[in-house]
Structure 1
């Protein structure tokens, strides 16, 4: 969409009105959590911070003609079809990031995190990531807002993605954390019980 394209522009190309929206705290610039110099990173993306405004641009603005004509059943059907994948799952990622901060503050991680966010490169993306330079700790996580329990395959996929994260690759301690709205499979629970580097939330 045009909005998505605008939000992914480099900072030097930002139109003035987008800078105003950043100053109003409606937009934010996000970089992979492992970036050493976030302000100078060329990997920055821009996203709408406010969940209500994000909802409006995704579901109300594109359907305003149908809403004005009274076709609310049609709009509700479209909303119900895309609400979880296009809105709730992203809000859930932010909740999981906040929970990761809490786990760090409560001493439930093998180090104290200094930065929490997401991580991505050209081909891979990790929902939640945290680093501690002082403790040489990398925490990588996936957030699953879906109907069934999360299985061991999600942990395996996360471990594969971890190979592409270059931060302190030879010395770091890596912890994997999986967030699920509907629990975990028996096999995954058994793995988490046997390993000190897997956390289920």
Structure 2
């Protein structure tokens, strides 16, 4: 991070340099990316944050998608992704996400030699706001591998995230139309083992997901950086539909 926070480093200005090559209204685009990186992922939330109309925003969003700076994402269960009203936008590149989340808001401090202020802010929220976000991506990739290896006994055709209009979200969802099977996953980047309550909450959230036929087969996969409680391990040993991965 010290290279990125150093005004003399080429990484310090890299996002500005990249965008200046592609767009003219760099200020507007910077504001949009910064809003998304801060967690405003719905069009309405971005528009509210920037105090602009949703209509005016759509052209800029399309440009940023075409430049591969951001990506439009819809719940993995959507039948017609292109026409979905449930889309979210996220910064596609992890370096850009980091830069707009931590470096750009602290530019004035960094340019005036007050690197410590930005570093302290970074230390406080880096794991929760950035590492956990990247960890979810890794877990989605891992689910593909677990399916390919036959560890999770489902032939997956799609893996992504799921959410609804009521802020219910599931980190990882894998679909198999051919098997009428669905995999629900939760990713926890915590300092202590996770317990049965995490599985219970995931099971409750899964009931909100409308997909497949009524007799669909369901699996639950938990990813944890710090392991699992003995009670959760014992429960997973008893159930063929629950998988735990560190």
TM range (shorter): over 0.9
Gaps of 5+ in 1: none
SS in 2 for 1:126: strand
- Counterparts of 2:59 and 2:162 in 1: how far apart (Å)? 28
TM-score when normalising by structure 2:
0.77
Aligned ranges 1:165-180 → 2 under 5 Å: 165-168=209-212, 170-180=214-224
CA drift of 1:144 comes to 0.3
Paired residues in the alignment total: 200
Gaps of 5+ in 2: 1-30, 45-53
Q: What do residues 103-128 of structure 1 show as CA deviations (whole Å, max 9, x unaligned)? A: 11112222211110101112310111
Map of 1:64 onto structure 2: 107
The list of structure 1 runs, each at least 4 consecutive aligned residues, that deviate by more than 4 angstroms after superposition, is none
RMSD: 1.8
Map of 2:203 onto structure 1: 159
Map of 1:86 onto structure 2: 129
Larger Rg: 2
Aligned ranges 1:21-100 → 2 under 5 Å: 21-100=64-143
Greater mean alpha carbon deviation, residues 160-169 or residues 119-128: 160-169
CA spacing shift, 1:36–1:15, aligned 2, 3 Å: closer
Q: What do residues 118-172 of structure 1 show as CA deviations (whole Å, max 9, x unaligned)? A: 0111231011111111101110011000100111110011011111111126121
Map of 1:145 onto structure 2: 189
Contact preservation (8 Å) 1:96, 1:179: yes
Q: What do residues 70-120 of structure 1 show as CA deviations (whole Å, max 9, x unaligned)? A: 111111110010111111111000000000111111122222111101011
CA drift of 1:25 comes to 1.7
TM-score when normalising by structure 1:
0.93
- Counterparts of 2:43 and 2:183 in 1: how far apart (Å)? 28
Map of 1:8 onto structure 2: 42
Map of 1:134 onto structure 2: 178
CA drift of 1:9 comes to 1.8
Contact preservation (8 Å) 1:110, 1:137: no
